[in-house]
Amino acid sequence: MTTAQDVQLKPMGVNWIGLGTIVRREVSRIMRVPIQAFIAPWISALLFIFIFGFVLGGRIKEIGGHRYLEFVLPGILMMNIINAAFLQSTSAIYFQRFLRFIEETLVAPLSYVEMIVGMLVCVVIRSVITALGILVIGACFGVIAVDNIFEFLFWVVAVSIIFGELGIIIGLWAKNFEQLNILNVFFIVPLSMVGGVFSTIDMMPPYLRFLYYGNPFFYWINGLRHAMIGFHEGPPLVGIAMTVGLVVLLSAATLRLYATGYGLRE
């Protein structure tokens, strides 16, 4: 059997076991707080679906040939994916910094890319589980709609990565728990509410339509809605290009912060 000493003599490639260990550790942490991680967003989604889709939705005419419940479900799903991704990475990074066990990975032979990818894999796992739960809730209300599974997965994974990376950046920057919520309170919640979750562009007065077209959340909700029910209001390629661009930009920024030790090293 190979000894630990032999491991040290092997040339370094990708540290897959190390990367997998970051994922195992974070999944273990998520499973310690299942109510916070999964039950809370599912209950929140259930209430949104029930009130806006089921109770009020019956009084609203069809949109693009779809029931109102079918129209709002992708938006509710996207709001929860964004929330799950952001909370996962901010809490993971800040918790590690606060208790200083981030030092465990800093002293280990892990590259910065492995550390970041490990965190983002957990972000995607949490987002996908959250999304699956909401799809099941939607199915309970008679909405079973994923038109294009690849497009659906693209939006879930890409948006999770964007907010996972934003969460890492905020988690590295924050000096206290209060600062962790700044992006959520002033950016994520307001923009998602005016990003077309509950209404179409036509329902907005013309002078307020910039809130949709100038809002990245609109393109994500629009993209997911297209993947789920085939309905869209904006140019899909603009949303895809913006999303890929943000993934590249935020990946570079996150990597840069890790490489310089910002928020990580003394």
Partner 1 sequence: MTPALKISHLRKVYRSGTVAVEDLSMSIAEGDFFGFLGPNGAGKSTTIHCVTGIATITSGTVEIFGIDAVKNYREARRLIGLSPQEFNVDQFATPRQIVDWMGGYFGMSAAQRKSRTDMLIERFDLVEHQKKAFRELSGGLKRRVILARALVHDPKLLILDEPTAGVDVELRRDLWRYLQELNGDGKTILLTSHYLEEVERLCRTITIVAKGRIVRSGPKADFMSGGLENAYLSATGAEPDHIAGAAA
Binding-site ranges for partner 1 (CB under 8 A): 1-5, 7-8, 12, 15, 17-18, 20-22, 24-25, 28-29, 32, 96, 99-101, 103-111, 261, 265-266
Please state the closest distance from residue 89 (CB atom) to partner 1, in A: 16
CA distance 203 to 171: 37
Tell the smallest beta-carbon distance from residue 134 to partner 1 (Å). Answer: 28
Nearer to partner 1, 73 or 168 (CB): 168
Burial of 127 from C-beta contacts in 10 A (0-12 / 13-18 / 19+): buried
Query: Judged by CB, which is closer to partner 1: 25, or 232?
Result: 25
Shortest Cβ distance from residue 176 to partner 1 (Å)? 18
Beta carbon nearer to partner 1, 8 or 214: 8
With 0-12 CB in 10 A as exposed, 13-18 as middle and 19+ as buried, what is 42? Answer: middle
Query: Shortest Cβ distance from residue 9 to partner 1 (Å)?
Result: 9
- Cα(77)–Cα(75) distance, rounded to whole angstroms? 5
Shortest distance in whole angstroms from residue 67 CB to partner 1: 44
Using the minimum distance from each CB to partner 1, give the nearer residue, 104 or 147: 104
Considering beta carbons, is residue 46 or 110 the nearer one to partner 1?
110
CB of 37 to partner 1, least distance (A): 14
| Least distance (Å) between residue 265 CB and partner 1 | 5
d(CA 15, CA 20): 9
Specify the residue, 26 or 233, whose C-beta has the smaller distance to partner 1: 26
Contacts of 78 (CB under 8 A, 6+ apart): 155, 159, 192, 197, 217, 220, 221, 224
Instruction: Indicate if the alpha-carbon torsion angle 41, 44, 47, 49 is positive or negative.
Output: negative
For residues 21 and 215, which CB has a smaller minimum distance to partner 1 in the complex? 21
CA distance 136 to 143: 9
